[in-house]
Structure formats: C-alpha cells, structure tokens
Structure 1
Amino acid sequence: MVDGKKAVCYPPSTLDHPPSTLNPPPIIEIYTLKNYKLKELRTYTSTEWLADNRKKYRQVFDRYQTTYVYAELSFYNKLFDIEDWDIEVELRCFSLKKGKKELCILPFRRKVSKYDHTVYVREGWGNKSEGAFWKKGTYYWEAWIEGEKVATKYFYIEDPGDEEIPGLNPFIEVQSIKLYEGPYDDVPEEERQYYRQFSAEDTRYIYVEIVLRNMLYGKAWHCELFTKFFNDARELKGQVVRLQRIEKKDEWIKITAGWGSNVKGSWREDRYTAELIFMDRLIAAIPFEVEEEFEKGIPGVILPDRLAPVILSPEVEDDDSFEEVMAKMEDLIGLVDIKEQVRNHAKYIQFLQLRKNRGFEEKDEINVHSIFIGNPGTGKTTVAGMMGRLYRKMGLLTKGHVHVVDRVDLVGEYIGQTAPKVKSAIEKARGGVLFIDEAYSLARSTEDTKDFGREVIEILVREMSNGPGDLAVIVAGYPKEMKQFLDSNPGLKSRFRLNFEFSDYLPQELSVIAEYACREKGVELTENARGKIDEIIVDAYRKRDRTFGNARFVYDLIEKAKINLGLRIMSLEAPEMVNKEDLAVIHLDDVQLIRLDRTQELPNIPVDEGLLQESLDELSHLIGMERIKAQINEMVRLVRFYRQSNRDVLNSFFLHTVFIGNPGTGKTTVARILTKIYKALGVLERGHMVETDRQGLVAGYVGQTAIKTTEKIDEAMGGVLFIDEAYALTQRPTGGAQGDFGDEAIQTLLKRMEDNRGFFFVFVAGYPDNMESFLKANPGLSSRFDKILKFEDYSPEELHRIALMMLSENDLIPSPEAEEHLKNYLSYIYEYRDKYFGNARTVRSVVQEVVKEHNLRFAALPAEERANMPENLLTLEDVASLKMDKTDFVFNKKTIGFRASGGR
C-alpha cells in the first residue's frame, strides 16, 4: 500500500512462492511515492488578492513599508480527484544578521481536499506597525513537509535611512531606458543598436537596457526589478525579474531584461509596453511598436510624475576642454554682459588656484554659489549648465550636471516632509549644480514662520556653510522678489556673492533665436513669413512686462507657425502628394493665423427683459443709496448697448466689484440684485451667487487653502462669488498667531479671476478702513477690482422710512405720536452713532423691540377690552421704551449691531 512515505516490493521470481521468514527474499524500498509534488516557496508582504490566487511576490522589502513577511508554500496534489488526506507542514523563518537565528516555527496540520489540484499554505511573521519588527538584513524561510525540508527562500529587508516621502524613491532614480533587439544570450553593449520600433519578421528578443542612479550610494543593498511586457490589450506577454546586489561604490545600476524567442516572428505587429516595477510600484513605462520595419531611436518614457513621455539617456561624458566650453559659451546668442562676467569669474578662480599651487593660503573657500536675476527665457538655465561644466573642468565639481528644482520639488505638504525632499534634491545635484527656479517662492512672507519654505532655506544655508561640498547652488528669479528672498535669512547673503543679471533679449537677438528655433524644428521661413515673425517680435518686445518669455516666446511662436503649416497641408485633398520640401516651408499665411492672445467668448444669451426690469425695480425700491443706483443703471445701459452692438463686454468692463460700507448699509442686498441684473443681461451663464467668508476659503494646513478656495470658485462658476468681510483674508488670526494662509487664498483667487475672466465675477464686501487695507495688501488686488461701490450710512430720514417699511411688513401702523417719537429716537441714535452703528440692522432691532412691546401690551388686556381696540395700531405706549438717554442704550460690538436696554 502507499502511505506517502514508503512502499515494499518483492522481486518477480517470488510471486509464485510465498515468502519464508527463514529465507526472506531481497526487498526493494521506494521512498519517492509521495502524495504531493513541490511547486515552489515564495515570499510577499502585501495581502492584496490578485487574479488566479496570486500575490505580489518579491524578495526585497523596504523596512518602513513592512509589517508582516509572508511565506507561501505551494504543491501539487497527486491524489487530486481521488481522496482527501492529511499533511503536516512547518514554516520556519531565520535571520542571518548576526549568525543564524531562528525567528519562528509555524506548524500546521492540514486536510488536503481531493478537489484541490494545487494546495497553498500561507503564513507570516512580524508586527502590525511598519518598521517595528524587521530591520535591515538577510533572512530566509524554510518549508518542511512530514519532517522533511523541501524548500528554502531568501529575502532581504533594506533600510533607505529615512521614511519614504510620497512621490520620492529613496533607493533609485531612473536615468536612462533604451530598447534593442538580440538573441537569447544578449548583445555586448558596444554592439547594441537602439530602436523605438521593431520588425515583426526579424525580431527575436526585445531587451530593455536600464540605467538607474543609486540613491543609497555608500551602502550595500539588494535591488529587485521586475520588467513586464504587455501587448496593446494589456495582456502579459512576459516577465523578467532581476535580483542584483548593489555594492557601496556603485553609483550606477545597469540592468538588462529581455523577452522573446530565438525563433524570429514571436512578436506580432502590435503596440506594446514594457513596465518597470520596483517594490510593487511602477517607476517607468516604455511604449514601443512592432511593425514591418525597424526604426532606430530612443523611445519616450512615461514616468509616474509626468503626463507626457520624456527621452531618458545617460549623462554624456563631457570631453570638451575648458577653452572649448568657454568657446561654446561665447557662441550663445546675446548675453554679452553675462559672458564677460562668467569669463572674468572663471579667470579669477584660475588665479586663486594658481596662488594655492604656489603656497598661498586663502581664508575663504572659492565661492561657486550664484544668484541669477532675470525674466523668463533669458538663458538662465543654459548658462547654469555652462557654469557647471566650467566648474568641473577647473576641478571644483566632480560631475558638472544641473539638477533643476522649484518650490514644489522642495517643500513638503506636512510636517517632516520638507527636510527629506531637500536632502534628496541636494544629493541628486551633488557633484554638479542645484538650480532653484523662482527661489523667492521659498520666502513667501517674512512673518509666516509656519511656511515650510523657510525650512528649505535653513537647510540650504547649512549645506552651503558646513556641507560636504562638491555642489554649486544657483537661485533664480525676479529682481524685487529675489531681494526679499535674500533678506529672509541672514546667512543667505553671505553665501551668494555672485550676482548675474540677465537682461531681456533685444529684438534683433530674438530674430536670430527664431532662425535657430526653425533649424531645431526642421522648418524654414519664406521671406514674407520671416518679416512677419520679426514684426510680431518687435511688437511683443515693446509691450513686454516682466513676464515676457524672451526665447520661450520665440520658440512658441515658431511652434505655432509649424502647427499652422501642418493644418494647411492636411487640409489639401491629397496631402501625401505634397513635395518633401513643401512640408518644411512656413508661409506668410501660416504666421498670420497665429493667435497670441485668445480671449474667451461670452455665452450668447439674449437679454431677459422681464428679469432685468424686475431686478431694476427691486433696486429702485431700496431706500437711499441714490449714487449707487445711478452707477448701476449707467452700467446696465452701457452693457446692454455693448451686447446689442456685438461688442466685447469682457474687455470693456471690469465687473469684479468692491462693496465698501458700514454694517447694515445694504451691501449684500445690492450684491444679490446686481447678480440678477448680470444674469438678465446675459453676462453670466447661470446667474447664481455663492456667499462665503474667510472660513469658507481658508484651511488650517499648508496646501489645503488653495484646494478649499478652488472648490468655492468652481461652485460659483457661471455666477458670482460674494466674499463678506473680505479684509479678514489679509489679517492675522486673533492673538497674533503666525502661519496664516489667507494670502494663499488671495493668490488662488487672483489667478482664477484672470484665467476665467468673464466666466464668474467676484464681489468683496467689508468696512471702509479695513477694505482699504485689504486692497493695498496685494498689488494684484486693486488692479483686478475696477468698480468700487461705496455705501454711505443712512440719514435719519432714511432710517425713519426703513422703520415705517419694517412696521408695515409686521402689519402695524404707528399713531402720529408714536411715529414722531420713533423718528426723534432714530435721529438721536444717528447723532451718537460710532463705527459699530448697524444702520438698517439697528432699525430692525428697534422695530423688533417695539413690536414686542405692542404684543405684550395687547396680551395684558382682558379679552373683551382687546376686542374693542385696533390690533394694528402702534401707540406711544408701545415706543415709550425707546429712551433718548445715552446711558440707556449700548452698541453691541460683538454683533456690530444695536441692542436697546430697558426692555421687559
């Protein structure tokens, strides 16, 4: 019988005679008859279930992402569809950190069902807190079945040194990805031909050549990289896993992974993607095609933080001499003063090096940190690259490359995120130039101590003062803002001693740049087209402000002309018959079709005469504010005329409006009416009004205010965003607390007011003194709000009319004596009003008081007496509680309204 362990067999010659105990026949023992056949032992940490009962199997894990490490033992059931049976299994885990150490023994007794073709035994060991149990080191799982060791699987825990920051990989950085074709045993590097398209007929294996920068330079660790090949239907064609030990001295990690067959034709014509997975995360995707023919080139790579493919290639060794680098600097268009300054700076460094070689000692180290001041597109990044190469030739830097970052790359969203991001950026730039674009954004406010940009500045100062060196820091931005940046930290000025001012390119220089852009984009201009391009350049130069794009503007100009060329060619009946030369020639018409400023169109909504008249009637029935009514009626006539004559309303009227006035002067009421008027005129698509204040726009954490403000703007799109007490956005929180995010809300608001011009309007309201400070708090505010409506305090006569209107709403008619007393009382409180006087709100409080007195008087009367008196008559007795005595009333500053004293 078979018991899963041993079977006993007799030789064929003994089958005719029963065996004797005195003369036993020879016995053959067979130990291979088992009820199972081992499949494999694998490790994983993620408990996510995937298709076909799979897990995210791997062998290398980040300490700070690891809770439990699981072992999965799988074996085939030889008694499948025959009978159930039992099995004893043990999973044992060992550490090799300091000799062999047993971590756990996990025994199991399982019943194997006859219905299970493959059996899985899974169990893990660790702690539910990430990083608490597993430390850096080598470990392995052993699997034992029925007391016999059947499999061993090693795994590795790696420690990047810091907890991982979302969006940053502390282990590797993708530097280069290329594709090539070859046989099973690969192709020597020097013989590889790189393709972005492969031939279906001649392709054997498609290899991915991967170059990664080792971000843990100086540490030994294990890198496990999965390369998965998918067809266009996202079906997995193949997978290659590379497990490689990285030594301390390895700055670069080079890996190749290929899939295919030595038999040509295993790749069908289709679109494919090779995806690189590191620690369960996609780090790059490489789209490529298999067609009829090979096409040489480097494919675009899709990175997780990029929307469009980018070309990655390893850093090219710079073989140019110092003089050749300087000559290339001289070949740059324009930048006359910059070239001379860089040349003199380089000569001075050579002079200091000469002194050092002759035995002179310098108290200060050679300073390579610089400030670049200038508008966009003036060549700052290009010159930074040249300087990096020059510093390398002079032995001041080991690599000379440029790593470009801005605020987003350096500043974290939460406490503890900023320092690791800055450290990562510095290490990526080590040996070259750390170029910080718009560096002034790191010092947004001299008072905002909770802004994490300040933490970046402090780390930079420490790095430039006491760091290991081999780094040049270049900060760039506008002149005024860069001065604020340098003043934000006392140590900055002393570290940046080199100032380079990049002037705007002259029109003739921009014209030369246009020729260069044409060569780069593979097009040429006709004589007329060139003349028109120069005309556009001169006009843009005359109108330029500090946001003028210089070279970027010119490149964009040529790109738009090239697009128009393409549209013209493709509009022909047979574009494929056009001569090759004509595909590269930009004509005058192509340039004339360029639209530099695209204005957004208003929705073509006819004037709603009924709603317009209703809104104007509502406005006219308001008491007082005659000047505001006149302004609104005037604007209505003009807007209506512009709409009827098909003229541009958006560029003729700035309909973002400031409402200035004391409490209770009708600001919110008029804002609502004005919104209805704009809706009636067809200026607004929806015509609704979203009311908010500081609380509705400002959040308590960095990065959240912009989101909150954007959501409120999106809600108001097609209508009006009404911000009450808008001045609160520029005021510090009560108690002098720092770290206010009101400025972030204003910046977001200003950008959307310009970007979505005409698709929504902003009304801001507040008290006179505060609103004046609000408009001066940001230079962009006053320019965005062209229309200001000033609401004066109501006069005593207007207060009296408001009181009568409110009494009428309560179905009350004052007697002559009561009306006279009420009128005198309103005149009295008007005379002694202060800045907390509530105007119509105060009148409402007064009316509510007398209505209450009236009701109490009636409630105290007997029923028969009450029946003989008019209920709607307000008598002198009802208003007698309104005392014209300064000691008998107070202004409630908390509610900015009026509260009468002496009530019952």
Structure 2
Amino acid sequence: MTEEFSKPGFKRHKFKELKVYASTEWLADNKKKYRQVFDRLETTYIYAELSFYNKHFDIEDWEIDVELKCYSLKKGRKEICDLPLRKKVSKYDNVVYIREGWGNKTEGSFWKNGTYYWEAWIEGEKVGTKYFYIEDAGQDFLPGENPYLSVHSLRLYEGPYDDVPELDRVYYKSFSGEETRYIYIEVMLQNLHISKAWQCELFAKFYNDARELKGQVVRLHRVEKKDEFIKITTGWGSNVKGSWRKDRYTAELVFMDRLIAVIPFEIDEDFVEGISPVWLPDRGQQIIPSIQQDDRGSFDDAMTSFDSLIGLSDIKQQVRNHADYIKFLQLRKERGFDESDNINVHSVFIGNPGTGKTTVAGMMGLLYRKMGLLSKGHVHEVDRVDLVGEYIGQTAPKVKEAIEKARGGVLFIDEAYALARSTDDTKDFGREVIEILVREMSNGQGDLAVIVAGYPKEMKQFLDSNPGLKSRFKFNFEFADYLPQELSQIARFVCKQKGVKLNEEAEKKVDELIIDAYRKRDRTFGNARFVNDLIEKGKINLGLRVMRNEDPRLLSRENLEMLELADIAKIDLKNLRPLPNIPIDEVLLRESVDELNRMIGMDKIKAQIHEMVRLVRFYRETGKDVLNSFFLHTVLIGNPGTGKTTVARILTKIYKALGMLERGHMVETDRQGLVAGFVGQTAIKTNEKIEEALGGVLFIDEAYSLTAKTGGAHGDFGDEAIQTLLKRMEDMRGQFFVFVAGYTDNMETFLKANPGLNSRFDKMLRFEDYMPDELLQIAMHMLDQSGLIPTPEAEEYLKSYLAFLYDCRDKYFGNARTVRNVVNEALKNQNLRLAALPPEERKNVPNNLLTLEDLETFKLDKSTFVFNRQTIGFKARS
C-alpha cells in the first residue's frame, strides 16, 4: 500500500462535490441549506463547500493546497475573489470539507442581480464548478408576501421514471401501494416577477407520517420575461412497484428557504381519483387547486387547440364533421327522437408511423369528454404484447384490465392488425382479444372509445378477421404522410421545444434532408418522428462542438443554442433511430429465474442461462450497451416432453427483463404459420411473421418440418421459408432472436439441410431425457396439483414403474408427457375405485389418497404394452 502511495502522480484526494449555501444556521449532520438561487436583499455572504475523499484515511495526517475562486458573468467574466488555503487533513477524516464565503455582513450591500459561479482548485488542478444566481424582486421578501410567485395549483399523479404525457395524466389523492412507481407533483405557479427573466429553484420534499424524509428533488427552471405561469413537474419513487409503503404522506414545496405549499396524500390498497386540498403556510389557508386549462375551456377551445396542430387538414375536417354529427344526434335525443343505437365513438386510424395518430387520439378523448360522451377523456395506449397472454386463460384477464384502465377515456390499440394473424395459425390468442373487444363495444358498460391504428393493408385484414368487427367501427381516419413543407414547420416547432435555433444554412440543410427522405420514403417512414430525431441529432452535434472549446462557459447564449451547417451535415441518416435505454426489470428477472429454478432437472441448461444473466449484468456494470448487442439465435434439441417450449418462454422473459430486446415478446409458430401453398406466398408469410417478432423472439416449433420431405428436393415451400429466415436473421442480427425446437435426430437433419443454417445459430440447448428420480418428482408435482397424496406403497410402485418405462425408452419416449399420461390414468383409476363404493361407505374413505390398487393397471412387463409411434406414447395391449 505504501509503495502505491509513493508512486509519481498519485493523488491523495478524490473530488466529491462542490455546493453553495448562504445560511450558516446549524442543521443535523452538519448539513447546510444548499441552494443556487438567492434574493439580493436577503443575502450577506455566499459560501462554497468543497468536499473530497481522503485516500490516506486511517493512515497518516497530511497537508493540501486548495483555492476557491468566485466569478461574475454579468458583463463578461469577472473575478470576485480568490481564496488560497493550505489545509491540514487528519487521518481520522474520511471525507474532508472546506467552507469559505465572500460578501458583506450587511444584507443587499454586496451581491447584485446576476449569474455567478464558484471554482474549486486542488493542488493546482481545477476539480469543480458550481453556478449560483442572485435575483432582485425590487422589494423585501416579507412573511406572507412572496414577490416572485404564488401557488396556482398542485395536483398529484402516478407514472414511470420518464413521466407521462399531460393528456394521459390521471390525478389521485390516494395511491395503490402495490402499483405505484413515481408520485409526481404537477406544480402551476403564477409569475409575479414578469418584468425580467429569472431563475426559479424549487425543492420538492416527500415526508411520511412520522416526518421522515423519503425523498427530495430540486428543479431549477428559467422563467422567461412576461411568462404568466410557471409549470413544473417533479416526482419521487422507483420504477419498481411496491417501493411506497402504506402510510400518510405530505409533499412539500420550498422556495428560497420558505415553505410555500403542502399537499397531503395516502398510500393504501387502491387508487382514488381526486385532487387533495393544498395548505399554503404564507396565507394560513387551504385551497382546492385550480382546474386545468382543458377542463376550464369549452368544446370550441378544444377544437381551436386541435386546429393549431401542424398539417392534418383532412383529419381536422373529418374530426370536425364527426363532432358535428355527434352533436346532431345529441340534439335529436334532446328533442325526443328515438335513436335506437348508442352514439358510436369507436374509430380506425390508418397511416404510417409519426403521422399524429396518438396525438389525435388524445385530442378526440378530450373532445368526447367536452361533449359528455366520456367521463375522463384520457388515453390508455396498448399493443399486442399488453393484451395477448402466453398461456390459455391469460389473455382475457389482460384485455379486461386494459379496458378498465381505459374506462372513461380512449383505449388506443397500436398495430392492432397484430391481433389478427392468418387463419391457419392455430397457436394464437389474438383472436380471443378481438372477440372480447367486440363484446365490449356491443354491450359493455360503455364510457369507452376504442381506437385501433395501423398500416392500411394490415388494418383491412384486421377488420375482416371477425364478422362483427367492421360494423363496430363507424369512423375511418386516414393519416397521410406529412408534406415536406409541413415537416419543415414541425422541425421549427421541435427546435423551439428543444431550446435550439437553426441558422440560415442549417435551416436549408434540414429542408434538403427532409425532401430527400420524403422522396425515398416507404411505409416505414417516420414522418414527425424522423424530424424529431433529426433535430435531436443536430443538438447532440452542437453540444459536442461547444464542448471542444477551451472554456465553453465563456460562450454566449447564442453560441449555446444556434445549430450550424456542420451540426446538420454530420448527421448519419442511416443510423438516425436512437436506441431506448431499457433498465433491468429486477422483479420480472427474479420471477423468471425463480420459474426456471423450479423446473425439475436441466442442470446444464440452467447453468448456461445463469451464466448469460451474469454476463449481461457485467456488461451493464461496465457501461456497455446490451440492447441489440447480443446474437442469440438458439436451437433447442430434445425428445418429447423435455420442457423445450416452457424453457423458451422463460428465456424470452429473462431476455426481456435484462433489457436485451426492445419489446421482449414471443411469437410462437410452426410450419403452418410460415409456409403457404403457392409459389411466392411463403416469403411474404414468413416476412410478416418476422416483422411481428421484431424486438422479441420468433419461436418455431418442430422446425425440422420446414425441410423438404423428399430429402431436400426442390419444390417444397419450406425451403423458401428457410431462405427468407436466413437472410433476415443475418441482416437484422440483434434486433430479434430465432428459437427453433424439435426432436434430436430430426433437428440435426434440419441443421444440415441448408449450408447456412448451422452457422446462423449462436447457441444450442440440449434437453436430456429425465432420469427416473426426476420423472418421479414430476409425477409427485402433478399429483399434488390434482390434490392427490400417494400412499407409501403407491409412491414406491410408481417409482418402480417410471424407472421401468425409462429403461424401456427409445428416441420417441415422451418424458414429462408420458408422466402426465400415467398420472391421468392413475387419477381415472382412483375416481373409478371411489365411484364403485356405496355412498355410505364412500364417506369413510379418504378421497384424496392414491393407493396401490389405483396403479394395478401399470404392469412391469414389456409384453403388456406396445409402443405406438403414431401418437408418440404408450398404448395398452388388448
């Protein structure tokens, strides 16, 4: 250790933090009232607190040279003070704090309105910078008189880490402990200091009922000159549900060391919609927050807001006509006309990505609410993954849950055509979703608008998939691609949103890129999303250019916001689509791994999967990307009943939890789902299945059936499916995984059928036959699920019989499926035994015991059964 300390260049310190404060009031744990915005008339000294880690902790005392400098940016860069210090560092201090200030003891006499910053230097090296702001409201900040702002409204809502759009917010006064992630405060403040721009620093503190601080968030918001209102959202929590415990809480807002508002809420069993009263300490009163603008406005106000959207002229007219017709029907009802049908508000949106379908859905929810057709008007957006279950019985509850979440508003189903696969796919539950939706739209509780969206051709197939579906959707809205001039308008709007501007050359270049992309567009053209990504890339290039300056802090505001030609010219349109940052879903990962661990046997396969989990965690810890970075096309080989399909489903959930796939769903299919009966159709069918699986896993069961039945002869369309699959597997590596499963010998033949097949698969999982003791464990588990307890004699005999079957097995042995057949036969025998007893006697016989008598039909004699290769199982001899 001493040798390491003596090496040239070794630093005995490590920078921790640089903070700013003005009050020397003593607080617990020697903390200060750290903040960055101060009122001029209240300020005497401004202090800098430098902290660093002592690498010689518990070893020796030493000394260090420190320098704290303060600068003003009011008219260029001007040095306010330079404070050199030589500090003795004690070996007993793990973290060292150095605090120095500058100013005057008379309030308001030294610091003037403006922007300042502290710099910290250690041993001649600059280690940190911290900005602070002095604001001047022109009058004293007296109790009960806030010259900067007043509280207009506070409301609470729940959401994920990246917040939720304003149209989707549902406001609560009580939250569900099991379902809550982040609790957000939507803060609306009235700006009382409108004569100039200023910095608003807001502290949001969340306390439990015992006044213990659960979390704190600080928001620094620049208020522009003449802004009437200041709107800020801030929240605390976790993306893992269940981090909030049942209790009473308060969310408290602090501005310039003054408590300005307190809003109470509860964590309980369920969500309770509503708005809690807000306590305003300065006024000494409670208020009910003001209603949001869209609630105060009329129907015409909502339509005016809708009309302000860029482009969509045909859609706007169609929506206005739709609204007028609904008002006409309402008028007829008011005048006593008998309208036998309820007013239909279900719609079909057809168009390419980024054409405003989701935005218009939100607007229509608002319009329907204004017209009294919906009680809330929010939008609950779902797709196939959110609606379709993996197993029988899972789909209906998922669909009903989505419907209830959308109740009162709009259920928006994106890419709805994915619910209606081709009629020859027998393994799909999407049709069950459609049937439930048809029932809900026909005779459900109402207070719901269903909007389905997708591409034109696929949406026609979707509407034709169920006889009653097309009649439920009375209104079709076709969203055309934005015109180049409209996309240019959107680009200017996006610039304003992102706080940047385009100089003349950059503006021309953006327009050129838009026109070029428009001319080359296909049905995947991103429209407004394309433009948003274009400006985002330009802003990134601006940032990189700015940070190459020797001291970027000296640059003007214009330099920090102006996009130049070089920033736009560097954009690589081929790689414009940014990858989402998907964190590890620890809850799903734990559940999936536990499900895997509970499976009987498969030790080698479990070890491989656990190894993969560890590897991905290591990648994340070292800062490497994992999304679309792994190539895990997998072959699952094994005899019948060895758990291939079950493990494939679990593995997909693990990959989803680890964030290795964008969507993390599994599309299950077989030869029927990929191969068509006519030339040229198989490639189309296979490509559609691959498109459906993008971002997830395509699982092909009995994949060997794709190889030509004539030993590889041409003419079998399965070969066309393989060729199509091979190309997409290579071209889109990492964007989806292909799992192929089948019996050992058949799969080895399948992999040899095409020279490129074997090399495309990166991983092979071999499922061995279950050993006799594992077969017994499976049988005992199945018996337990059936509510049966075997007697010791029956358990011993069952063990012997399963060992006998294992010894007699061949490549068609059914493993767990054979065990299921045995258990079902034993259950039938047990029921027949009980049925043969008189009712009086049956009362005295336990009905949950499996006895040796129930297993008498299972003989340990090869001559009593023959193997039936047609059904892959055992058949009793007559």
Scaled by the length of structure 1, the TM-score of the pair is 0.40
